[in-house]
Amino acid sequence: METSMFKFDNILVCLDLSDMDESLINYSNYIVEKFKPKSLTFIHVMDTYEIPEELSGSIAGRHRPLNEIILEEIEEKVNTVYRHADSPKPSIALESGITTEKIVQFARKNKTDLALMGKKIGFAGEGGVVKNIIGLIPSSVLLISETTPHNISRIMVRTNFAKPSYAAYHMATLISEQTDADVEFHHVYKIPYNYFPEQSAQALLKLKKQLDPYIEKQYNKFVKKYKLPKGIPFEYSVDLKGDEAQSLYNYAIKNRVDLLLTGTRLKSQLANVIMDSTSEKLAGVEKNIPVLIVKDSKESVGFLKALFD
């Protein structure tokens, strides 16, 4: 896998005119400082179909086009919060139409490497649009909350011993090179509850000891297959409830992980594009650790082109 596929040259920050925008613009300062992108664009999509044209002027309270007013609001936010006016000079894209469609089109046309989006932990919003965009956008997606600190010192890479985990590791090394963060792998081994009804601490410890040789063998095969460096820290959890995302999140919280990376493989189902369920759940608003959903850009572009073009 070419490491050049994992880069932060062109960054897209998705705004929605909520209080979350300030957090996203502020976090983009940190991203720019660490990764020195070539371009940074703040994008907002106006859902104009929700406001009849004849009412937009009165709602705005002035005789000016609504797009001018919104653009002015975004410019004011960016000028107030963004600190790197010339490195790179930010662009503002104001689109009109269906949010998912416009953001995905912009990302494809402008070869976006990373899309930065909000999880909205405390703010209004259910994140449905975010999930749709994640499935369709060809770039990797970083999801932050309004409480995300501007620091990355410990990175956890979800591994299921498959190719997406390999891609996520390469992205983690790129981030580590710029932040000096430690990188570790974590695997969740799933056992149906009916096969292991006893969940006492002692019983779980006994089960883990029995699993250790098998999990270690699987991990070593993964390292050998993808020619990964030896000595990368590796841990695993046992999931009895069928919720890998929650197991990953619990471990990350307990061990003060700053960033959780998950590779994902897109699949088609009729007219829809779906991610694996764990990546989708990790994107949920109730999990406030930042999550980077890593995509192999060449694979994603090829898949989406074959599906929609």
pLDDT at 5: 60
- pLDDT score at 270: 43
Coil, strand, or helix at residue 116? strand
Do 288 and 147 meet the contact criterion of CB atoms below 8 Å apart? yes
Q: Which residue has the tokens 């490497």?
A: 113
- My answer on whether omega of the bond before 233 falls inside 30° of 0, hence cis, is no
Q: Report the C-alpha gap between 266 and 104 in whole angstroms.
A: 15
Helices 128-136 and 99-109 pack at an angle, to 10 degrees, of 30
What's the confidence (pLDDT) of residue 204?
76
Task: Decide: helix, strand or coil at residue 278.
Answer: helix
pLDDT in tens, 126-152: 557 788 888 889 999 999 999 999 999
What 267-276 contacts at long range (C-beta under 8 Å, 24+ apart), as own/partner pairs, is 268/303, 268/307, 272/135, 273/135, 273/136, 273/304, 273/307, 274/135, 275/134, 275/135, 276/164
Structure confidence by residue, pLDDT tens digits, 154-172: 999 999 999 999 999 999 9
Tokens 């980077």, located at residue = 292
* 176: helix, strand or coil: helix
Determine the pLDDT at residue 65. 80
CATH of domain 3-308: 3.40.50.12370
| Backbone φ and ψ of 144, nearest 5° | -125, 160
pLDDT at 269: 47
Q: pLDDT at position 307, please?
A: 46
pLDDT of residue 206: 83
Q: Is 238 helix (H, G, I), strand (E, B) or coil?
A: strand
Q: Where are the domains of the chain?
A: 3-308
Residue 85: Cβ within 10 Å count: 10
> What per-residue confidence (pLDDT) applies to 141?
95
pLDDT < 70 stretches in the chain: 1-5, 48-63, 121-127, 192-199, 201, 266-275, 285-286, 297-309
